[in-house]
Structure 1
Amino acid sequence: MKSRQFETTVRQKLLQTPAVVLLGPRQVGKTTLARTLAIDWPGGAVYLDLERPADRLRLEDADTYLRAQQGRLVILDEIHRAPGVFEVLRGIIDDNRQAGIRSGQFLLLGSAALALMRQSSETLAGRVAYLDMAPFNVMEATAADMADNTLWLRGGFPDSLLAADDSQSLDWRRDFIRSYLERDVPMFAPRLPAETIGRLWTMLAHNQGSVLNQARLASALGVANPTIDRYIDLLVDLQLVRRLRPWAGNLGKRLVKSPKVYVRDSGLLHGLLALESLNDLLGHPVCGLSYEGHCLENLIQAAGSLRVPYFYRTQVGAEIDLVLEKGGKPEIAIEVKRSMTPSPEKGFALACDDLQITQRYVVYPGQERIPLRHGAQAIGLLDLAALLAQG
């Protein structure tokens, strides 16, 4: 399971653009992937971990040092530690273009998506590609002969997924959550209280997949409504939480306008709720919505950047768990049912009719494809993820 499908994507992007920004939460495998690329990169590679003082010292005169690496791939890990480097990179990339060198120069790794994109886009516009690296997905886990229930319980972070047993996996996730609150929150948002954000994160876990009720959360935490937005923004920026927007086209219907919020990695969700074993999870009220979030996260990842994810819900009960829109048109409707005898609700059919969607799928834990009423098809998570990945 050491080789990841995503490695091919990164290689291809580096062959097309001067710089690639690889975004993803800590411990997701960015550094491992980068070091793997460095082993056989044509012309060689140099790796700098900017959390190490010795490596940051090399960039005191960044322009001179980086120009001296001409012809090699330069990997800068934890790039947020040296934001001033972006201006230097722009000059080097532009000079290299004049010399006919247009690809494979810099690989930048970072954990805070929005902050890093803001820093880089101001100086590297037109010179950089962005890639989001997620934890292991169902296709990768299946290729490694790992059961989907294991992936669902432990989540896709490598050290959690590959732990010796469920207890060690949960210990790793608890330590991971603690380190984010004690280290990353103060680093990326020094003015926000880490303890309160931790409480919010846990509250979101208890309300996995629910429509966001800011007023209720604000009241429970003793803060103002806009403050909840800022806290969730941080968790979204760190790629720990997904804010799934409602589809809001003009259909003349009363639509739900608040987003749904999911803890993105199912293992972290279960860590926040102290669920160690599959039996613990199956007996917990979050079970159904946990499975829904697990499926949606895998399917959104498989669908790629050309399909935009939404959910759809009207005030009268028509609902779709996941709508995938392409080119401004709703294309695919997906409902998730943790049942071996899945059946779409009438509200799902009404919603699909509202949006004129003909590709209708109900994801369930089985493997057989089964025709269902309302023009839907029951399909396993792995099969639908593979179908979406094909484009």
Structure 2
Amino acid sequence: MLERILKQNLLNGIENVPVVALLGPRQVGKTTLALQVAEQVLNKKSVYLDLELDTDLNKLDDPESYLRRFENQLLIIDEVQRKPDLFRILRGLIDIRKRSGENAGQFLLLGSASRDLIQQSSETLAGRIRYLELTPFSVLEVLKTDRLGFNPEKLWFRGGFPNSYLATSDDESWEWRNDFISTYVERDIPLMGPQIPASRMKRFWTMLAHYHGQQIIYSELGKSLEVTHPTIKSYLDILTDFYMVRQIQPWSGNTKKRLVKSPKIYLRDSGILHKLLNISSFEVLLGHPVLGASWEGFVIENIIVQLSSKWQYSYYRTTAQTEIDLVLEGPDNQVWAIEVKRSSSPKISKGFYTACDDIKATSKFVIYSGSERYPMSGQIEAIGLTEFLEMLG
């Protein structure tokens, strides 16, 4: 069992606000973590409902009457997006329980759809709810549990979904990812609203894998799938809402240079990326054209999930191809420029120095596949991924 970094934040949320929503993709371990944390909440029993089960879903035919039976208990409601009208009822129940002196730890909601998607179909719980996202295993989580035996290449190749990373072999990991993708497009996405033919969504997802680390060209994808530009955008938003894709927006600071304005696309889990591209072994990955982009995405996703909410992230690219892979802007006017290189002896292009001047970077890093930290020309530091993540933490 790997210790999840989010565990303490989840416990703090339950102890301080009436409702905590723990969101993230399916099969990422939300239920396991919720039940673990519920055992540590002092002076409260917990009740668990899984809205994927008809028996539990039917209990909420009259949700107000049912839920009012559990005063001073923590109610854990799994797959809450299956019951979007529940939020209106929760708001009233929270206020009733608050008047009786119960200010925190009333409801723990688990969902496989994004905060924005859930809020579209709910009354606001502003001031009453805290949103947390559970991601697949990160480098620091795996390192913390297995520091001596940690193999970052295994995590990069298989991805961080627990059943994929912890599988008994690469072949078992491959089969799990294959089943996961099929289930997502055939059952999970349609179950949560969008009615898109499974074959089309899987094809679109595979096409996105070829755009990993690039700006998407809607017209090219639309032509290939024989759908319109807005339809392609809606498909992309669906995979983003269900935590499969990350769209990184371009830097929006002041500069006289012409900037690329479209988002950069990454598949959030490297194991899913490799499955969609039919990369069946680490040796195949090492010889594949996607190698550099895959490593870049793996590094960037690990950085973003480690960031506190006080930081903002973007990428920088001009029409002249001057580029920074990741720009981090911190609460104390920090502007960090990050270049990602797979090489063990990274070389920096002139364009990176120019881009750092454009954004007035206060710190410049090259994250590479080695572990030694050393200075480079132009006040740039070369640093390994693990040390950089520990520095962020």
TM-score bucket of the superposed structures, by smaller chain: over 0.9
Given residue 4 of structure 1, which amino acid in structure 2 is its aligned partner? Answer: R
Q: Deviations over 1:27-78 (max 9, x none)?
A: 0000111111223332111110011111112222211221211111100000
The percent identity for this pair of structures is 47
8 Å CA contact retained: 1:344, 1:376: no
CA separation in 2, counterparts of 1:328 and 1:177?
41
Give me the CA root mean square deviation: 1.4
Aligned pair count reads: 388
Q: Identify the residue that residue 2 of structure 1 maps to in structure 2.
A: 2
CA separation in 1, counterparts of 2:189 and 2:86?
23
Within the alignment, does 1:95 sit opposite 2:99 as a pair?
A: no
Q: Identify the residue that residue 110 of structure 2 maps to in structure 1.
A: 109
Q: Helix, strand or coil: the match of 1:15?
A: helix
CA separation in 1, counterparts of 2:348 and 2:306?
23
CA separation in 2, counterparts of 1:139 and 1:328?
25
CA separation in 2, counterparts of 1:278 and 1:345?
28
Q: Identify the residue that residue 199 of structure 1 maps to in structure 2.
A: 203
Within the alignment, does 1:20 sit opposite 2:20 as a pair?
A: yes
Q: Deviations over 1:245-286 (max 9, x none)?
A: 111223111001111101100010011112121101111111
Q: Helix, strand or coil: the match of 1:124?
A: coil
Within the alignment, does 1:236 sit opposite 2:240 as a pair?
A: yes
8 Å CA contact retained: 1:343, 1:372: no
Q: Identify the residue that residue 61 of structure 1 maps to in structure 2.
A: 62
Q: Identify the residue that residue 323 of structure 1 maps to in structure 2.
A: 327
Q: Helix, strand or coil: the match of 2:174?
A: helix
The Cα shift of 1:330 comes to 6.1
The Cα shift of 1:327 comes to 4.9
CA separation in 2, counterparts of 1:7 and 1:61?
32
The Cα shift of 1:14 comes to 1.2
Provide the TM-score with structure 1 as the length reference.
Answer: 0.96
Q: Identify the residue that residue 182 of structure 2 maps to in structure 1.
A: 178
CA separation in 2, counterparts of 1:74 and 1:166?
38
The Cα shift of 1:171 comes to 0.5
Q: Identify the residue that residue 136 of structure 2 maps to in structure 1.
A: 135
8 Å CA contact retained: 2:3, 2:145: no
Q: Identify the residue that residue 218 of structure 1 maps to in structure 2.
A: 222
Q: Helix, strand or coil: the match of 2:132?
A: strand
CA separation in 1, counterparts of 2:20 and 2:41?
15
Using the TM superposition, name which of 59-68 and 230-239 deviates more: 59-68
The Cα shift of 1:198 comes to 1.2
| Residue ranges of structure 1 left out of the alignment (5+ in a row) | none
The Cα shift of 1:329 comes to 5.3
Residue 364 of structure 1: which of 354, 368, 372 is its match? Answer: 368
Q: Identify the residue that residue 312 of structure 1 maps to in structure 2.
A: 316
Q: Deviations over 1:120-159 (max 9, x none)?
A: 4x23122111111111000011123231101100000000
Residue 119 of structure 1: which of 121, 125, 128 is its match? Answer: 121
The Cα shift of 1:3 comes to 2.3
8 Å CA contact retained: 1:156, 1:267: yes
CA separation in 2, counterparts of 1:258 and 1:59?
43
| Residue ranges of structure 2 left out of the alignment (5+ in a row) | none
Q: Helix, strand or coil: the match of 1:123?
A: coil
CA separation in 2, counterparts of 1:186 and 1:317?
39
CA separation in 1, counterparts of 2:213 and 2:176?
24
Given residue 105 of structure 1, which amino acid in structure 2 is its aligned partner? Answer: Q
Provide the TM-score with structure 2 as the length reference.
Answer: 0.95
Using the TM superposition, name which of 359-368 and 291-300 deviates more: 359-368
CA separation in 2, counterparts of 1:328 and 1:139?
25
